[in-house]
Structure 1
Amino acid sequence: MRFIPDRLRNGRRRRSPLLVGFVAAASSLLLLAVGAPGASAVTLGPVSLPGDEAPHRDASMEWWYFTGHLQGKDIFGKSHEYGFEMTMIRMDALGTEPVTAIWNGHLAISDITHQAFKQDEATYALLPDVVPAGGGFNNTVGLYHMDGKNGVNHLSGGFADLSYAGINLTLRQTQPAALHGNAGVIPYGPFGQSGYYSQTNLKASGTLLDHGVPVNVTGTAWQDHQWGDFTAGPGGWEWFSIQLDDNTQYMLYFIHNANNQLVETVGTRVNANGTTTNLAPGTISSTPLGSWTSPHTGITYQQKWSINVPGGSLTITPRLADQELYNPLVPQGSYWEGTSTVTGTINGANITGKAYAELTPSITLPTRGSVWQGILDALNL
């Protein structure tokens, strides 16, 4: 559910200092890049773990994405509450050995206690794939690191200005991963098809350094892993990860075409015992109840939603209005990703919980070779 930032995709439109620095570091591989993207297309079949936790060689785009809700006390006994997102995006792998790709790291902290939001989506690197023996992932981009296998994951990193630093989390999933759609393959609207599974009930523990003060935290997190040899789009989506207090989770995905028409609806309910149920598209819907206009990019996003699911309805309310990830140099490709509360009624019972919502208004996913071509275009090669 992540995106290709326009600063790489649209090399002809605008050159940011970030892009110029990146392409200088990548120049030694540009000649390889011209011929590299001719590898075979990704074969999407039944997802098999832990093998499919690893990078997929010929994916045009792939992401490992963690969000979560944390609470804890600092060394002075003061209580804190946070939401977090850490994402690694892998784009346009070169068909060489070792397989090398363009990587982009995102980090965001929603500080609920202080009603503050900190974000960074501008960290890039050209890196070889790291594939642990037997599967799993081990990704590092700049100051951000994530690794995982068989339901045990570790995240570490922090912002360079040390506002929220020393993030060190262990996330454990005790139930099987949820394979969405047809054994882990979903229809992806204008983007084609996608491999997709989630760990929907990760138990989190660790530490976070909040402006120099250590905070011991626990909580609940979610991991998405998605990949494909995507068609170009463009399109967009609204996506929700819903974690209810009765130990039920929902993944809801509303995918739009370039005209903002809903073209695919994908939903999964993860039952309390870990089994999954695919939700028929006609049984789930999302209605926005408000909006918010970003002072950073001028984009207007939905805010607060009424969600219909089989047996009832839920209201999802953001805990902060401003949870937009963006690059001030290139606002295209911005998106809203926010921690939220859940209230509602299902099968006659009142229900509460937590959620993350992602709003990607308009994006074009990369086809194989397109990101490298954008770099070549930016260099006028």
Structure 2
Amino acid sequence: MKLTKLSPGRRQRRRLGLVLGALCTPLLLVLNSQSATAAMPAVVLPADEAAHPDSSMEWWYFTGHLQGFDTFGKYHEYGFEHTIIRSDARGTEPATADYNGQFAITDLTRKTFKQDIMTVATQADVVPAGGGYDNTVGLLHADGKNGVNHLTGSFADNSYALDITLCQSTPTALHGTAGVIPYGPWGESAYYSQTNLLALGTVTDHGVKVYITGIGWQDHQWGDFNNGIGNWDWFSIQLTNNTQYMLYFIKDMYGQVVQVVGTKVNANGSTTNLAPTAISETPQGSWTSPDTGAVYPAKWTVNVPGGTLTVTPRLAGQELFIPGIPQSSYWEGASTVTGTINGQSVTGKSYVELTPVHIMPTPFA
């Protein structure tokens, strides 16, 4: 038998393809023992993966950490954000809604950050016949159902293109009470996450194809939000001990924390709501945006039950700058995690979102 030598990228893609294929099966189970007591209805999956024409704002938000080899055998690392935001900014529901896309690649090999904002004024919701979601905004596309998601995205200058499949290997995490959280000045929000997505696909990097694997995270959040002024700091933390944390520090117009929501996702996919008094963040250092002049923390000490974590951005300049409405620009960054939980050293990866003080819902048209 003739043996064919595979390049590092081809070996990795074949090996991880077999692993991901075994794990990338639809997950119908949602672990959450709590019953809904909030005014909003409990989240029901997969039905609630689709668009919600009664919501004033909604987003399907993906971030992740990718690595792999290109066709020449060179190693690459990336962070990415792929977000599609739906809003009723023009009051056209249910016939149409405004759709906005936000796309960013943190190239950790080049130490560069590239981002773009794509807006479609109004378009009809696409609801697949079998359920799930199917959203397209300009050069961004996302579709999925039952924890299997497919994303594509590219920049107009063809510098980077993303084509990946992300599959959840444990049950989806419902935050708060059956997927409903208190949301500070904006009332309540439906909110679930897929916290340990396995990624497989390609990044086309300046014309060179890179075969990647990695981990991702999806947030799907929606609600008929109150008009309110505030902002938030948000952390997704994925540890190598197979636990994850979602930490949400919601602030008022003066920057004071008024709501804290936290979820620990255990290794088996079950969730534990964290007491607001048991979690905290302390900024360490700062970075000033050359585009907006905004001053962002450059590192954080995060306390969770049983321990302390240090979250460090892998690149300081990861601000998504929105030229038309610079006050809505925000920082969204790939980061690393080190620390100690219950006496054990832990490491992992994180994405951190820092938003400005703004009025929501925000029309992106």
Settle same-fold status: TM greater than 0.5: yes
Contact 2:327 2:356 in 1 (8 A): no
Give the CA deviation at 1:95: 7.4
Q: Name which of 299, 303, 306 aligns with 1:304.
A: 299
Secondary structure in structure 1 of the residue aligned to 2:355: strand
Give the structure 2 partner of residue 119 of structure 1.
115
Secondary structure in structure 2 of the residue aligned to 1:175: coil
Give the CA deviation at 1:232: 1.2
Secondary structure in structure 2 of the residue aligned to 1:338: strand
Give the CA deviation at 1:123: 3.0
Quick one: distance in 2 between partners of 1:97 and 1:255? 28
Give the CA deviation at 1:97: 8.3
Q: CA RMSD in A?
A: 1.7
Deviation beyond 2 Å, 4+ runs, structure 1:
93-99, 122-125
Quick one: distance in 1 between partners of 2:103 and 2:65? 14
| Equivalences, count | 328
1:291 aligns with 2:286: yes
1:335 aligns with 2:330: yes
Matched letter for residue 339 of structure 1: A
Q: Name which of 64, 67, 79 aligns with 1:83.
A: 79
Secondary structure in structure 1 of the residue aligned to 2:185: helix
Quick one: distance in 2 between partners of 1:223 and 1:97? 25
Contact 1:125 1:141 in 2 (8 A): no
Contact 1:61 1:227 in 2 (8 A): yes
Q: TM-score, normalised by structure 1?
A: 0.83
Matched letter for residue 234 of structure 1: I
Q: Name which of 267, 285, 296 aligns with 2:262.
A: 267
Q: Name which of 200, 203, 206 aligns with 1:211.
A: 206
Q: Name which of 130, 135, 141 aligns with 2:137.
A: 141
Give the 3 Å change call, closer, same or farther, for CA 79–229 of structure 1 in structure 2.
Answer: same
Matched letter for residue 154 of structure 1: H
Contact 2:283 2:299 in 1 (8 A): yes
Give the 3 Å change call, closer, same or farther, for CA 99–231 of structure 1 in structure 2.
Answer: same
Quick one: distance in 1 between partners of 2:99 and 2:165? 23
Give the structure 1 partner of residue 245 of structure 2.
250
Give the structure 2 partner of residue 151 of structure 1.
147
Q: TM-score, normalised by structure 2?
A: 0.87
Q: Could you give the per-residue CA deviations for residues 235-258 of structure 1, whole angstroms, max 9, x where no partner exists?
A: 000000000000100000000001
Q: Could you give the per-residue CA deviations for residues 121-160 of structure 1, whole angstroms, max 9, x where no partner exists?
A: 2433421001112431100000100001000000012001
Q: Name which of 39, 45, 55 aligns with 2:51.
A: 55
Aligned positions of 1:86-105 closer than 5 A: 86-92=82-88, 99-105=95-101
Quick one: distance in 1 between partners of 2:125 and 2:195? 25
Give the CA deviation at 1:302: 1.3
1:352 aligns with 2:341: no
Matched letter for residue 171 of structure 2: P
Specify every segment of 5 or more residues in structure 2 that has no aligned partner in the other structure, as ranges.
1-37
1:197 aligns with 2:192: yes
Q: Percent identity?
A: 66
Secondary structure in structure 2 of the residue aligned to 1:72: strand
Matched letter for residue 107 of structure 2: D
Give the structure 2 partner of residue 5 of structure 1.
none
Specify every segment of 5 or more residues in structure 1 that has no aligned partner in the other structure, as ranges.
1-41, 376-381
